[in-house]
Amino acid sequence: MGIFIARDMPPEHTSNGTVAFHASVDDHMVTCEVTDEALQDHFGARMDDPESLIEAFRKGRPDIELLALMKLNIDPSSPCLIATGDFKPEH
């Protein structure tokens, strides 16, 4: 199975309270999302500011993409939603 993050498409803030980005799974585009809450809790975003949420996504992109790839490897047919509980707690 070929899975990779599509970096040629910019992330976008959605009306669902997430920042969406895209991956390719066996040549099919899949939308992945990370919740606004996760971006606030782990990457310092301000909830009421879409630009802050996008900037937090960019800041945390390596960790977010790693989680997305892990989720897609486990079950590529399930929606890829990353929430605050998916991140390891900071010590």
Place 48 in a pLDDT band, splitting at 50, 70 and 90.
confident
pTM (predicted TM-score): 0.91
Which domains are present in the chain? 3-86 (3.30.160.140)
pLDDT for res 91: 36
The H-or-E segment that residue 24 falls in is strand 18-25
Q: Tell me how crowded residue 90 is: count the other CB atoms within 10 A of its CB.
A: 6
Mean pLDDT, rounded, of the chain: 93
Residue whose tokens read 């707690």: 89
The span from the CA of 53 to the CA of 37, in Å, is 9
Question: What residues have CB less than 8 Å from 27, skipping those under 6 apart?
Answer: 2
48 φ, ψ (degrees, to nearest 5): -90, 10
**Overall average pLDDT of the 31-57 stretch:** 96
